[in-house]
Amino acid sequence: MTSRPEAEQETTPSAVSPAQDQTVKGTNTRKVFVRTYGCQMNVYDSERMTDVLAPEGFEATDDMEDADLVILNTCHIREKAAEKVYSELGRIRKVKQERARHGKDMMVGVAGCVAQAEGEEISRRAPIVDLVVGPQSYHQLPGLLSKVRNGNKVVETEFDIDAKFDHLSARAERPVMKRPPAAFLTVQEGCDKFCTFCVVPYTRGAEVSRSVEQIVAEAERMAAAGVREVTLLGQNVNAYHGEAKDGSIWGLGRLLRRLADIDGLDRLRYTTSHPRDMDDDLILAHRDLKSLMPYLHLPVQSGSDKILKSMNRRHTRDEYFRLIDRIREAAPDIALSGDFIVGFPDETDQDFADTMDLIRRVEYGSAFSFKYSQRPGTPGATMDNQVPEDVKSARLAELQALISGQQKAFNASRRGMVCDVLLEKKGRNPGQIVGKSPWLQPVQLDAAEDLIGSIQAVEIVEIGSNSLFGQLIAGQDDHANPGLPRLRSKGDVI
């Protein structure tokens, strides 16, 4: 698997924010609670679920016990993902029973990649589940819930991704309420790479790209609703090959250039990429577009050619090095991030040493690293010479120590720099707000809440373990087009 969006990080489950489209049928408002596991694409899908359900009279809630409908939007990347879902369903069963004692109904749905992989097995093992819906079918939720209300158990896991994208496009024409300053936008789904450790081709299907017109319409809608930064999502986002109105096929670089022209959309990002799909036009976009932030997540997974071949990554370590050189020539200040898997079958001490050597040579600003876990149905799960768990743990600790040192060094290099920060939300402490640097680091500073949603010049004055701490520069207005980081005199700090 190439994708950070579908990748190996499991986020803390949380309810999504209230639906933005408030056009509601009738006056009887019902409540929906969506718990999201996994990746940025799942976050995007959860938000779209609440959008789809809003016209049906559903309002988002962050209180499960208050919900008429509970949806678990699941991720299948991590080990024992399905078992974690069944464990959560056990807790939901108790909530559903308690509501029933008070005469209140609760429908329960499982969506996402575990739903796609498990299908009817979910209904068999967890009878409280009324609806199982795969990641390509959530646009059908209103009709599927109607079947549930008629007393049917529903399992819908067809790969009708074109219909899903068409539905998203139609909704893009509707006005919405104000949104947070940063948002996700799915442009591509699925993967054709078939890395031997990855389930994504089996749960999300083949690579499919949305049309240019669909994406531009949704991005314009976001900008009109107050979004300043959009992150384009895809399991293999730089394999994007969307059709334009004239029938031509655009790559991701050309799409980014079009989105950079949208008024009010000041920052662009994308994740996650495969090294084999990093073409010249996309690399040059990092040189040419001031709104394309200087951050790139480019997973390599291993530094050993033997392991890369066994993983079916279809590139070598030297090809990866040459690609990094080209990217840094185009964008010298770019922060690189990566994914690493340690303990893949037949990984020797020398193979691991090759990975450590690659990390030292590339010098990452951040990275995500994991012990290999066998995913049922993938070729890696049945390979010989599985690495012992204690060896994997030792290697992971050594690798993470190296990555942590590189991340701290990169963050320290920002001290004293003045950069543009998108201020996104209130901080934990009174009077504190939190923003995002061009290199995707959290930046904390003391400032008025009415600056949330603006882009401000901030001097980085302190470095934390994961965050930067800054001070506003005096005498500035909100920046419409911030561009790349700027160095200034420290004398203007307030």
Distance CA 213, CA 219 (A): 10
**113 annotated as ligand-binding:** yes
With H, G, I as helix, E, B as strand and everything else as coil, classify residue 396: helix
Residue 15 DSSP class: B
Contact 88, 72 (CB under 8 A): yes
Please name the amino acid found at residue 391. Answer: V
Please name the amino acid found at residue 358. Answer: L
Question: What CA dihedral angle connects 194, 195, 197 and 203, to 10 degrees?
Answer: -30
**419 annotated as ligand-binding:** no
Listed residue (358, 324, 380, 407) closest to 1, CA to CA: 380
Distance CA 149, CA 71 (A): 15
Beta bridge partners of 15: 35
In this structure, the number of other CB atoms found within 10 A of the CB of residue 412 comes to: 12
List strand residue ranges (DSSP E) for 79-179, in order.
107-112, 131-133, 154-156
**198 annotated as ligand-binding:** yes
Distance CA 111, CA 109 (A): 6
In this structure, the number of other CB atoms found within 10 A of the CB of residue 245 comes to: 9
Distance CA 230, CA 222 (A): 8
Contact 212, 244 (CB under 8 A): yes
Residue 236 DSSP class: T
Question: What CA dihedral angle connects 158, 164, 165 and 167, to 10 degrees?
Answer: 160
Distance CA 486, CA 417 (A): 8
Kindly write down the DSSP assignment for every residue of 434-483, as one continuous string: EEE-TTS-EEEEE--GGGTTSEEEEEEEEE-SS-EEEEEBSS----SS--
Read off φ and ψ for residue 139, nearest 5 degrees.
-65, -15
Token digits of residue 307: 């392991």
| Residues in contact with 409: Cβ distance below 8 Å, sequence separation at least 6, in sequence order | 363
Cα angle 139-142-143, degrees, rounded to a multiple of 5 = 95
Residues of each annotated binding site: 39, 75, 113, 191, 195, 198
Residues of each annotated binding site for [4Fe-4S] cluster: 39, 75, 113, 191, 195, 198
